[in-house]
Every structure is written in structure tokens, then in C-alpha cells.
Amino acid sequence: MAVYQDNYTAMVIFAQTQTQFGVQNGNLINPDGTEGIFESPQPNTPKIPKEDGNGGFSFKQAKKMVVGLGVYGAVKSVANYVKNNYGDIMQDSNAQVEINEAMNIIQMGVNIGMGFAVGGVWGGIASIVSTGVSVGLQTASFQRQMHRNQVQSQVSMARTQYASINGGR
């Protein structure tokens, strides 16, 4: 076996000969042109060229990435705080409900889009079905809560003997 290696390529050449008695001779092909068995001073692994000495890693790039991620995290945290506490900050609970509903609708759209992006047509259909089931369950929960509220209101009115409606005793 002969090995030829430079900075970009590595070749391994296998050559064996046999004598007339079936005895195998050593490798007679060497990269330097000499005869005899070639003993490589280096292992038979090719050298892969790199962009720079440390494999493309740069502390300057890493520092920029960490700073960018930190800024992104801080902005995201502030945006989430304002989004989640808008009603308390501005004393507008109706606007907070509208913001929450809009974010739910946007999230459903993102989930359906991701289903199509990741799973193709079948993934999109599955995400639509999943979103439909989720909306259906939320609607059922809301209807049950409304029914409970109505029953509780009727019970309260019966206990007070409709004092507010009939004008008292």
C-alpha cells in the first residue's frame, strides 16, 4: 500500500504482486518513485483544508451573537410584559381582552402555517383539524361557563325573591 498526501488530497494505492510460488511481495509503488515497501511517516487520513486555524470560529462573531441574543431576549421580554399587562397599565380591560384574542388568532394562524411548512399538505390538514378541535373545546368550555353563570344568577335572584326587579317588599 502506498499513500500520497498533500494539503488537499490523499490517495491510497494498493498494489500487490505474487511470485511464481504464490508468495506475496510488498508494495512496489511509492509516491517518491522509490522501490520497496513504503512506510508513511503520517497516518492515512486526508487533511481537510479549513477556513482558518480555528475552524471558522471567531470570538468576535460569538460575542456579536451573544449580544444580539441578549438584546433580542430583552426586547421580547418587554414586549410580552406590555402585551400581557396592557389592561393593567392603561386601565383598559376591554383592550386587554381584544389583544389576547388577537394573539390567539395569530398563534392559530402560525400553527397552521407551520403545519403546512413542515408537513406539507397532510401536515397542514392535521394542524387545521387540531386547531378546530382546540377552538371547539374552548367554545364548549365557554358555553358551560355561561350556563353556570346564568344558573347562579337565577339562584341569587330566587334567594333575594327578585327584590331588585319587583322593587322590594
Determine the residue type at 168: G
160 or 102: which leads in pLDDT: 102
- Helix, strand, coil shares of the chain, percent, nearest 5, are 60, 5, 30
Residue 17 has pLDDT above 60, yes or no: no
CA distance 2 to 31: 7
Q: How does pLDDT run across 53-111, given as a tens digit for each residue?
A: 566 667 778 888 888 888 888 988 988 898 888 888 888 889 888 988 898 899 999 99
Please say whether the beta carbons of 127 and 116 come within 8 A. yes
Closest CA to 113 of 104, 103, 123: 123
The answer to pTM > 0.75 is no
Backbone angles phi, psi at 93, to 5 degrees: -70, -30
Per-residue pLDDT at 62: 81
Q: Assign 25 to helix, strand or coil.
A: strand
